[in-house]
């Protein structure tokens, strides 16, 4: 692929789309031209890229002529409908939705974990789920050294995971509550302000939600570990952006917290922040706006009699590493 590429962003007016635009500029991605695509109601809206005002165009079947890379973040239904037209026009699609993640012929890529998989595409590369990306970046250096056997995760997921409108809803609900009113839920099943609930995505027959099962299925594919055991509980929390996760890990080989910290400190895409004596540990307020995932509270699992269990806590920006940044990093692999 040419080193100067024509880029299209589908879903450009959404929260992830906006961060895709900013990330392309921030990382000096070699954009020859950029096309911003969204629904008909957003057509004509002006967005800025490198100081230039660019009009949003309506997404259609003919939107991808002369496009080299198409970054999709408009939801699974739009991806299933329009990705094929981008591929047929000669573009490589990096898709941020769940539409193609588990397709056998579509690579599911976290560049810090399985970058080589991106080069084995048939026109479409999938961006994993946000909570899976944040977990994988933090856990993979430990798995590579000590062979992860089992993972139990509890995620604390920000409003940003449900989009820009959900972030606005959280702010409005907070104002209403502080004024003594009764907040109304629209984007969530319950009011989120001053609340949390263990419900993200739809419930499945096994009692887990679809979001929780994504971490099992996607982790196995990304880390090429089909026997990995994963159990996950996903909780929506009243945080604007940046997800956090409590991770309990069991390894096939012994590992100490000191070894884990050393491995994490040398790994790409993560920053170690682990000094409880100084109240230094991962927090979403610090992770918001950061490219790296923050890792801390690394400790031995005291419920075990051996040295094969660890606990740690991570925070990562859901809109950046959990979505836009990871997609742009995948695009960088292509050039």
At 1 the pLDDT is 61
Query: One of 121, 130, 143, 232 is an active-site residue; which one?
Result: 130
- Distance, CA of 174 to CA of 156 (rounded, Å): 18
At 2 the pLDDT is 58
User: CB–CB of 247/135 below 8 Å?
Assistant: yes
At 305 the pLDDT is 94
Query: One of 143, 232, 234, 243 is an active-site residue; which one?
Result: 243
- Hey, what are 239's tokens? 């945080």
Indicate the length of the chain as a whole number. Answer: 335
- Hey, what are 71's tokens? 């970054």
pLDDT tens digits in sequence order for the chain, 335 residues long: 657 899 999 999 999 999 999 999 999 999 999 999 999 999 999 999 999 999 999 999 999 999 999 999 999 999 999 999 999 999 999 999 999 999 999 999 999 999 999 999 999 999 999 999 999 999 999 999 999 999 999 999 999 999 999 999 999 999 999 999 999 999 999 999 999 999 999 999 999 999 999 999 999 999 999 999 999 999 999 999 999 999 999 999 999 999 999 999 999 999 999 999 999 999 999 999 999 999 999 999 999 999 999 999 999 999 999 999 999 999 999 99
At 69 the pLDDT is 98
CA 270 to centroid of chain Cα atoms: 14
- Distance, CA of 10 to CA of 37 (rounded, Å): 5
Cα dist. 74→60, 96, 239 in Å? 13, 8, 23
In sequence order, which ranges of 147-222 are alpha helices (DSSP H)?
Answer: 164-178, 210-222
User: CB–CB of 224/148 below 8 Å?
Assistant: no
- Distance, CA of 6 to CA of 247 (rounded, Å): 40
The CATH number for 5-127+323-334, chosen from 3.40.640.10, 3.40.50.740, 3.40.50.720, 3.40.50.170, is: 3.40.50.720
At 3 the pLDDT is 75
The residue extents of the domains of the chain are: 5-127+323-334, 132-318
At 297 the pLDDT is 98
232 is catalytic: no
Q: Which of 322, 156, 319 is nearest to 236 (CA)?
A: 156
The CATH number for 132-318, chosen from 3.20.20.30, 3.30.360.10, 3.40.50.920, 3.30.420.40, is: 3.30.360.10
């Amino acid at each position: 692929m040419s080193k100067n590429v024509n880029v299209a962003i589908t879903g450009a007016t959404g929260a992830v789309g906006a961060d895709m635009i900013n990330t392309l500029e921030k990382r000096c991605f070699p954009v020859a031209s950029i096309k911003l695509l969204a629904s008909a109601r957003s057509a004509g809206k002006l967005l800025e890229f490198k100081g230039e005002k660019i009009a949003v165009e309506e997404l259609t079947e003919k939107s991808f002529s002369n496009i080299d890379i198409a970054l999709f973040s408009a939801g699974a239904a739009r991806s299933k409908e329009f990705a094929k037209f981008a591929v047929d026009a000669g573009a490589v699609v990096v898709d941020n939705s769940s539409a193609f993640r588990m397709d056998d012929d579509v690579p599911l890529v976290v560049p810090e974990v399985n970058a080589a998989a991106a080069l084995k595409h048939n026109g479409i590369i999938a961006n994993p789920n946000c909570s899976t990306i944040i977990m994988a970046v933090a856990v993979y250096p430990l798995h590579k050294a000590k062979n992860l056997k089992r993972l139990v995760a509890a995620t604390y997921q920000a409003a940003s995971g449900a989009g820009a409108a959900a972030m606005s809803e959280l702010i409005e609900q907070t104002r209403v509550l502080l004024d003594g009113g009764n907040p109304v839920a629209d984007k969530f099943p319950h009011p989120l302000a001053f609340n949390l609930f263990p419900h993200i995505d739809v419930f499945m027959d096994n009692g887990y939600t679809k979001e929780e099962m994504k971490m099992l299925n996607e982790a196995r594919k990304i880390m090429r570990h089909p026997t990995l055991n994963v159990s996950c509980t996903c909780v929506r929390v009243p945080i604007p952006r940046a997800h956090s996760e409590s991770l309990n890990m069991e390894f096939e080989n012994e590992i100490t917290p000191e070894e884990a910290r050393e491995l994490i400190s040398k790994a790409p895409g993560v920053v170690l922040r682990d000094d409880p004596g100084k109240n230094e540990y991962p927090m979403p307020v610090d992770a918001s706006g950061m490219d790296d995932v923050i890792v801390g509270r690394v400790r031995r699992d005291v419920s075990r009699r051996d040295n094969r269990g660890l606990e740690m806590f991570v925070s990562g920006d859901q809109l950046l590493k959990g979505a836009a940044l990871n997609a742009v990093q995948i695009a960088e692999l292509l050039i």
